[in-house]
Chain A
Amino acid sequence: MMKHLKSVISLTAICGVVAVLLAMTNYITAPVIEKNAQAAASEAMLVVLPTGEDFQAVDLSAYELPATVTEAFTEKNGGVVVKLTTAGYGTGMVVMVGIDASGTVTGATCLASNETLSYEKTYGEKAIGLTADTVESDLETISGATKTTGAYKGVVVDALNTAIILGGGSVDVRSEDQILADNLNAALPAGEGEFEKLFIAEALTDTSAVYKAVNGAGYVFVSGESFVGTDADGKVTSEADEALKAQTESNAALIISSEITEIDLSGYEMPKQIEKAYKTATGNFVFELKAAGFGINGDEYYYPSGEHIKIKASVTADGTIIACETTYQSESEGIGSQCAEASFYSQFNGKTADNYGDIEAIGGATITTNGYKTAVSKVFEAVEILKGDA
């Protein structure tokens, strides 16, 4: 027993003495190590803010900052260095941005990334000299690396917003999705935060989008910057001026009464791009299309998916596109896949057979854009055929 006790006491005593020695060493070295770490971090910060002096870390919890911001530092001359993490083509892209006291970007560098094309290594140089007012227009994304450079641009914008907020200014740092959700909730609180976007098959007046509450409480009509809520019967429930109220109630009546019937295409010789066609009670047509983009016509070297792009488009009887949207795509990720973004397909809204080609092509995705345009052009032909005028 005594033998075992002696072993336990000996080992415990040695552990205790070693622990005390380690604590003493840590007491001496910890401040030096911290100082060295700060000096190393300052050195990295000087790369993006060469005039910076005496960097001090900012307590992020005291501010409402963009979600991408992981660290921020202020310095003696009023400059700010912001460290942000985002996802480009891959995840974990860490960018450090320096902004001087006047709100101008002095440097931006990528500290870590998993991107494939390495555009992030030099893209930061393009941001130098930009401000919050000029960054959106002057910092262009690079064709073929839209995901990487788009994400990089996003964090530069976030860094500039952070500098404004840290300087006592005010910026809306919500994401586009958050802003949309907030606007929908404000317009129709009875929707309880769950809305689905409707595909518009009726020619509505001055309306860019319509959302329906999933619980059936009503609709929200987007007209310019205004979000107007109606109940399930189409009566406006949110604040709006009389003209907007009348317009919204007229649009709501069209949406609520809208009926759509599938057309049997077997009796028609339709363009091969037309898969299905529908007619509304008001005489409009809705088409389901397939477009041969890069997935079908792409260079075999780049392994095209072999799949069509699926499109839905509504057209008035006189041949004006009401709405167009991509319902499926399997194009090259980050390039042709942009055909699924509203900024691309909504360009066709309001177009006719004469001007449908006047849209901005997707950079680096000519085959996708041309295939898409060809498919959309066939709806005008189809309308003529269905009207019996062909």
Chain B
Amino acid sequence: MNKESNMSVLLKGLLKENPVFVLILGTCPTLATTTTVIGALGMGLAATAVLICSNAVVSMCRKFIPDTVRIPCYIVIIAGFVTIVEMFMHAFLPEMYELLGVYLALITVNCIILGRAEMYAGKQPVGKSILDGIGMGLGFTIALLAMATIREVFGAGTFAGIPVPFIETHTIDILIKAPGGLMVYGMLIAAVNFITKGKAIKKKDFSCAGCPSAGNCHGGCASAEKEAE
């Protein structure tokens, strides 16, 4: 039985198990939507809303979703919530909807959301799954904001569209391009590793116990063979 405290569930996503900098999930939207702080905030909050809702519903349904069809069920639930968020954003935040473009619909296939449904919400009670969704969602949002702040301020000379004195005329243009995004991403991963003294990375469980396919695997994979040695 999981003895993890509620506070620990909530806070682990912020740094220790940050989905972007530690678990290295959701890299595509991370690089694509962090050219502006506003875009990053919109993507982060949209993904958080979907994460909380999908974690809650997956957890509620975990006892009657058969193991064999759990992934299609999770995808349908996640896609449904993404479409709902997309519709509301289209109606009430049209500028944000235009800004996020195709990446909004691609939240459906964001590894963070499916990963949390499979690894956490599918096994844990509703309350903890919601806390996990909030924590992971906030961790994702904070990570996007950190990256977007560096890229927009130093790459475009603005913060949320507001010009930053001096930097405005001394921008590092590469930061708002794809290579700049990867550079900032790499530097932030290194910074998180430095702050946690590498413990966050080392704590990642690469054994059969931490594998999402463990339930259906009969020990035939390379990792299982390595573990057996």
Q: Which A residues have a C-beta under 8 Å from some C-beta of B?
A: 3, 6-7, 10-11, 14-15, 18, 21-22, 25-26, 28-30, 32-33, 36
Contacts and interface: CB of A to CB of B under 8 A. Distances in A.
Nearest to A6: B66
Interface in B34-82: 61, 64-66, 68-69, 72-73, 76-77, 79-80
Contact of B83 (A10, A15, A22, A33): A22
A14 B84 contact: no
Contacts of B91: 28-30, 32-33, 36
B212 interface: no
A11 B72 contact: yes
Contacts of A3: 66, 68
B92 interface: yes
Given A7-B66, A7-B68, A10-B65, A25 B73 contact: no
Contacts of A36: 91, 94
Interface in B169-184: none
Nearest to A8: B69
B84 A22 contact: yes
Contacts of B94: 36
5 contacts: A10-B64, A10-B66, A18-B79, A33-B87, A36-B94
A176 B87 CA distance: 48
Contacts of A6: 66
A19 to B, nearest CB: 8
A25 B81 CA distance: 10
B80 A7 contact: no
A15 B76 contact: yes
A11 B77 CA distance: 10
B87 A11 contact: no
B76 A21 contact: no
B87 A18 contact: no
B58 to A, nearest CB: 10
| SS of A interface (majority) | helix
Given A3-B66, A6-B66, A22-B80, A14 B87 contact: no
A11 B73 contact: yes
B206 interface: no
Contacts of B69: 7, 10-11
B80 A11 contact: no
Contact of B61 (A14, A15, A32): A14
A18 B65 CA distance: 15
B194 interface: no
B197 interface: no
Given A11-B69, A21-B84, 5 more contacts: A7-B66, A22-B80, A22-B84, A25-B83, A33-B87
B216 to A, nearest CB: 14
Given A10-B73, A18-B76, A18-B77, A25 B88 contact: yes
Contact of B76 (A14, A26, A32): A14
Contacts of A32: 91-92
A28 B91 CA distance: 9
B87 A25 contact: yes
A18 B78 CA distance: 10
Ranked 3 nearest A-B pairs via Cβ:
A18-B80, A29-B91, A32-B91
Nearest to B89: A29
A11 B76 contact: yes
Contacts of B88: 25, 29
Given A10-B65, A10-B66, A29 B80 contact: no
A29 B85 CA distance: 11
A156 B58 CA distance: 58
Contacts of B72: 11
Nearest to B65: A10
Nearest to B69: A7
A11 B92 CA distance: 31
